Structure 1
Amino acid sequence: MLKVNEYFDGKVMSIALQTETLPATVGVMEPGDYEFGTSQKEVMTIVSGKMDALLPGSEEWQTFTNGESFEIEANVKFKVRLSGQTAYFCTYE
């Protein structure tokens, strides 16, 4: 069964699903600055749009666009900022 997740007063929404191998979410973020915490290892792939991310252990923002991915370890926080609507696909290990 699909589960809808809503964060930051509806500015970030996703639908949870089970792929053939891993749990995942597909979602959309409105423009803004957000901080997320992880409980599992995540791989986030940008489907549409652009996302700047400040990853754990880094002092510099990195930009990710269509088809690009980044990995986040479990039990850490990371920040993202978006100038336009951005769609993503995220798997969890």
Structure 2
Amino acid sequence: MSAQIDQVSVVKKSNIYFDDKCVSHTVILADGSKKTVGVIFPSSLTFNTGAPELMEIVGGVCKVRLAGASEWNTYGAGQEFNVAGNTSFDIETVETLDYVCHFG
């Protein structure tokens, strides 16, 4: 995993969800693909997906439970997990979590 994303355009307006518990910015790559780069503050949230997502954890630790699963998995900096499109996942953080969400 690279420490930076090169040659992108950044949407200046932030994406703010869950009463300010998740804040991100959309970046658009030269090929037109999009990612979001953001933080999740300590909380327990449920995200719904449209497109498939690869969640890359840049900093912090989280517990994740994919839709339909009974067990939680723990992820930290340098790890990632996949989420199918048109589904959901639960995420719990006890410290600020830095992430990059890759779509598609």
TM norm structure 2: 0.84
Match of 1:35 among 37, 46, 50: 46
Aligned residue for 1:92? 103
What is the distance in 1 between the residues matched to 2:43 and 2:91?
A: 8
Structure 1 runs not aligned, ≥5 long: none
Which structure: larger Rg? 2
1:12 aligns to what? 22
How has the CA–CA distance of structure 1 residues 84 and 43 changed in structure 2, closer, same or farther, with 3 Å as cutoff?
same
C-alpha root-mean-square deviation of aligned residues, in Å? 1.2
Number of residue pairs the alignment of both structures matches: 93
2:75 aligns with 64
Distance in 2 (alpha carbons) for counterparts of 1:83 and 1:31: 5
Greater relative contact order, per chain length (Cα 8 Å cut-off, separation 6+): 1
Runs of 4+ in 1 over 4 A off after TM superposition: none
Inter-partner Cα distance in structure 1 for 2:92 and 2:30: 31
Instruction: State the TM-score, normalized to the length of structure 1.
Output: 0.93
Change (3 A) 1:67 1:20: farther
Counterpart Cα distance in 1 of 2:67 and 2:17: 21
Residue identity opposite 2:76 in structure 1: T
1:8 is matched by which residue type in structure 2? F
* Amino acid in structure 2 at the alignment position of 1:75: N
Identity of aligned residues (%): 32
